[in-house]
Structure 1
Amino acid sequence: MKWSIAAIAGLLAPSAFGAAVADKKITYNGYKAYRISTHHDDAVIKAKLAPLSPVTFNLDTSEHLDVAIPPSEVAKFKALGLDATVLHEDLGADIAKEAAFGTYDLTAQAVPSLTWFNTYHAYADHVTFFSDLRAAYPNNSELINAGTSVQGRSLFGIHLWGSGGKGSKPAVYFHGSVHAREWITSKVVEYITYQLLVQYSTDTVVKTILDKYDFYIIPFVNPDGFVYTQTTNRLWRKNRQTRSGSSCVGTDINRNWPYKWELTNGASTNPCDETYKGVAAGDTPENQGLVAFTQSLKNSKGIKLYIDWHSYGQYILLPYGYNCAARAANHARQTTLAQGTAARIKLSYGTTFTYGPSCSTLYATTGSSVDYITDVALAEFAWTIELRPSGSQGTSGFVLPAAQILPSAIEQWEGIKYLLTNA
């Protein structure tokens, strides 16, 4: 649905329905973050860490475990003698650097400047960024709304089209910031949006792509969680939904899609866990809106390509997550395109992306967007892309230095151009 700029401004603040007493801010000052090599025996490593209070980053722990250790426990951690390297000398200090947003007057110029990508930004500024882009290109863009969050924020986005007119071509559909702490994802989809609009009139490749597809870009699937990472806990992952009978908050939106949700071993039934799937399939407000919006795309011109942008690990993940033996009907074609996309990404900065089916390449997921959009919404291609840093060699994890925003975005833009030119 079309959405006015005034409506966006009116939904920046959470509604009374989702309002709650503010939590005390977690600073992570003095926390030291480590990457521990598990040597394919993560159970032993986790047992050794059990007496401590680590904050775990990654879900795939077969090769390594990324943890932040409180300052009072660093000496005890070192005494364990684990095979570990340092990701953050002081996690709190690095978070503080990342959150030093600076100033950027979006409305002072007709088109936002590329300097927007030099740093991270507050949620309200992201809303303004999309409003300004739409205002600068009113003839081939409009603001859209894909649903409402637990706390009443709109799942806003932007719809782009080319010479055929809006809604006339198959959809290319992007989701960002599904997991709140993955800040780089919203910046990457913003860069792609920016380049599609700015280069449309001057670059023949971009013009061909935008004339061939309608783009629907939702930069913040989890706006409540994202705001919470900026106000309270930088490492928060889930949405901010409360559940009767539990003091734990949040559901993993990407384990809540109503397809293969009922299967086990790909999500958690514990409300306190990072991958909590919810009480019933599709019972998060965010997912309910997204399902309806996705179905509208399916029922219109269909979905050519869906990408769910995440971090971190440097993966291009194909269907499926729910079954490690399952393959999409066009798996061979998807694999060829993923190989070519990874090769094109690598040309920019030498960044290597691993590609393959989600479950067998990384880990099992149930109730995931890619599986739903492949088998229910019938997208021709549906991928998850896990952005920088890498799982094996990267440093920093979710708190990716601002200096890597533009390189991350540029390499993905090159990959997207290759993918949509060859798909």
Structure 2
Amino acid sequence: MRSLLVSCLFASLALSTVVPRARQKVDYSGFKVLRVSLPEQRGDVEAKIEELAAHVLNPGKVEHLDVVVSPDKVDAVKKLVATSKVINEDVGAALAEEGEIKKAEFSVAAVPSESWFTAYHAYADHITFLRDLQAGYTGQSEIITTGTSVQGRTLTGIHIWGSGGKGSKPAVLFHGTVHAREWISSMTVEYMAWQLLTKYSSNATVKALVDKFDLYIIPIVNPDGFVYSQTSDRLWRKNRQTVSGNSCVGRDINRNWPYKWEVPGGASTNPCSETYKGQAAGDSPENKGLRAHVDSLRDSRGLSLYIDFHSYGQYMLWPYGYDCNLVVHNDAQHRSLATRAAAAIRAVSGTRYTIGPACSTLYATTGDSTDYTDAVGNSTYSYTYELRDTGSYGFTLPANQIQPTVRETWEGVVSMLKDV
């Protein structure tokens, strides 16, 4: 990519004063993933499991928890739970199967090829991908920024428009990599941008969709956490914000949105938890920037569709997360769009999605993005996509599944964009 050298140089200079030296990378060799069912009388069992586990991969799940456990603590975890099953014998081996982070190669071509979606990439190369993609379509796209991270990285995305001109149509907004370890979401969101721009002049469906909306696509909204997951701890989830008086680091950006943040039960007040909500609603710098962007889209042409791309589990969810007894006013329409999108995904490769309101279908979440974009951002439709798979690999999806995942997801997104 032509701008790689320059962008990497500036990134290095800009971050040298704000990014602390990474610790030695966590070695997960021999660690297991256990799927455990909690006893009926839970008490503080879940808290004890969280203390023993290296990571809880699906915090908040009611039916079962997937936990990463070191070999010496497996028996202790099993004693606490009703049932347990090993779903990954060796996390270190799974990481090796995921594939090495591929360094982008220099090219005189302005537009990246589809081969980009065959490997995982370093953070700096993701920024270069966006800039090189945009450089090929300067008449209908621009690089956008939506604030900065704790460590000073800019939240970078791309704005795409069609024949109506910039800013003339209702907005569509895609977010990726809210949770640092969900690398497949970065690749999937980038694939949306790549398809919309590279196929605009040759595909009538794509042209019609781009002409219908202003599309705002931000592949990595948690850059500090993403970098940390690449350099220090592959299974890191949160951002890298410190907590005064506590040695634990990070807020869950998707429990930090200032709508129903204060409701108990859908996030944690423990700074060491995977779902730590923060000390105050919207107190992460990443959320401040994302929220300002949502509000600005609401106040201009309006927000028609919001999708927050996550992994894993193969779910398509919509509001509300904070109360399992509530349904959004256009619940039937949300279900209709999701039903057709799930069918479109299944038609590509047989991948099946579970659809439904977030709280009643998966688990309670408070201060999450889809509740905010619906209730405050006035988005007509708000969804969370939980991408492949259902736990065999979890967050460490092998590189050979990147293309199948992004291609099937594209068909689901096209279905939704047609219906909105």
Normalised TM-score (structure 2)? 0.91
Q: Is the 8 A contact 1:341 1:416 kept in 2?
A: yes
What are the residue-to-residue correspondences of 1:219-234 with 2, within 5 Å? 219-234=219-234
Deviates more, 1:78-87 or 1:298-307: 78-87
Q: CA deviation at 1:205?
A: 0.6
**Could you tell me which residue of structure 1 aligns to residue 379 of structure 2?**
379
Could you say which residue in structure 2 is the equivalent of 1:20?
20
- Structure 2 CA distance for aligned equivalents of residues 298 and 420 of structure 1: 18
Q: Which residue of 1 aligns with 2:402?
A: 405
- Separation of aligned partners in 2, 1:12 and 1:414: 37
Partner Cα distance (1:51, 1:133) in 2: 44
**2:141 corresponds to 1:144:** no
What SS does the corresponding residue of 2:261 show, helix, strand or coil? coil
Q: Which runs of 5+ in 2 are unaligned?
A: none
Secondary structure at the aligned position of 2:35 is classed as strand
Q: Deviation of residue 118 (structure 1)?
A: 0.8
Post-superposition shift, 1:75? 6.8
SS in structure 1 at match of 2:301:
coil
Counterparts in 2 of 1:93 and 1:104: CA distance versus 1, 3 Å: same
Query: For this pair of structures, how many residues does the alignment match?
Result: 415
Amino acid corresponding to residue 405 of structure 2 in structure 1: S
Structure 2: distance between partners of 1:66 and 1:290: 29
Match of 2:412 among 391, 396, 415: 415
1:213 pairs with 2:210 = no
C-alpha distance after superposition, 1:68-99 (max 9, x if no partner): 23233457778999855443332123223435
Distance (whole Å) between structure 2 residues aligned to residue 40 and residue 29 of structure 1: 29
CA contact (8 A) 2:29 2:93 kept: yes
The residue type paired with residue 182 of structure 2 is E
- Quick check: 2:38–2:82 contact (8 Å CA) kept in 1? no
Amino acid at match of 1:418: S
- Cα contact 1:41–1:62 (8 A) shared by 2: no
How far apart are residue 18 of structure 1 and its match?
Answer: 4.3
Structure 1, unaligned runs of 5 or more: none
Q: Using the TM superposition, give the Cα deviation of residue 335 of structure 1 relative to its aligned residue in structure 2, in angstroms.
A: 1.1
Shift of 1:323: 1.2
Equivalent residue letter for 2:419: N
Match of 1:314 in 2: 314
Could you state the TM-score of these two structures normalised by the residue count of structure 1? 0.91
User: Which piece of structure 1 moves more, 318-327 or 88-97?
Assistant: 88-97
Please point out which of 393, 397, 407 is paired with 1:396.
393
User: Which residue of structure 2 lines up, in the alignment, with residue 111 of structure 1?
Assistant: 111
Do the aligned partners of residues 378 and 410 (structure 1) sit closer, same or farther apart at CA in structure 2, a change above 3 Å counting? same
Q: Could you report, residue by residue, the CA deviation over 1:148-176 in whole angstroms, capped at 9, with x for unpaired residues?
A: 00000000000001111111111110000
**Structure 1 pair 83/134, CA: closer, same or farther in 2 (3 Å)?**
same
Work out the CA distance in 1 between the residues paired with 2:246 and 2:399: 37
CA contact (8 A) 1:42 1:62 kept: no
Give the letter for the 1:312 counterpart. Answer: Y
Aligned pair in 2 of structure 1 residues 155, 42: CA closer, same or farther (>3 Å)?
Answer: farther
2:189 matched residue in structure 1: 189
Task: Decide whether aligned partners of structure 1 residues 283 and 103 sit closer, same or farther in structure 2, where only a CA change above 3 A counts.
Answer: closer
CA distance in 1, matches of 2:281, 2:12: 27
The one-letter code of the counterpart of 2:225 is: G
Seen in structure 2, the aligned counterparts of structure 1 residues 281 and 139 have a Cα distance that, compared at 3 Å, is same
> What residue is the counterpart of 1:269 in the other structure?
269
CA–CA distance in structure 2, aligned partners of residues 317 and 14 of structure 1: 38
Contact 1:101 1:121 in 2 (8 A): yes
Mean CA deviation greater in 243-252 or 53-62: 53-62
CA distance in 1, matches of 2:329, 2:282: 25
Partner of 1:360: 360
Of 369-378 and 73-82, more deviation after overlay is shown by 73-82
Report the AA paired with residue 336 of structure 1.
S
Q: Equivalents in 2 of 1:281, 1:51: separation in Å?
A: 25
Question: Could you say if the C-alpha distance between residues 381 and 108 of structure 1 is closer, same or farther in structure 2, counting changes exceeding 3 Å?
Answer: same
In 2, Cα distance between equivalents of 1:18 and 1:418:
42
Q: 1:42 to 1:174 in 2, by over 3 A?
A: farther
Equivalence map 1:24-43=2 (5 Å): 24-36=24-36, 38=37, 41=40, 43=42
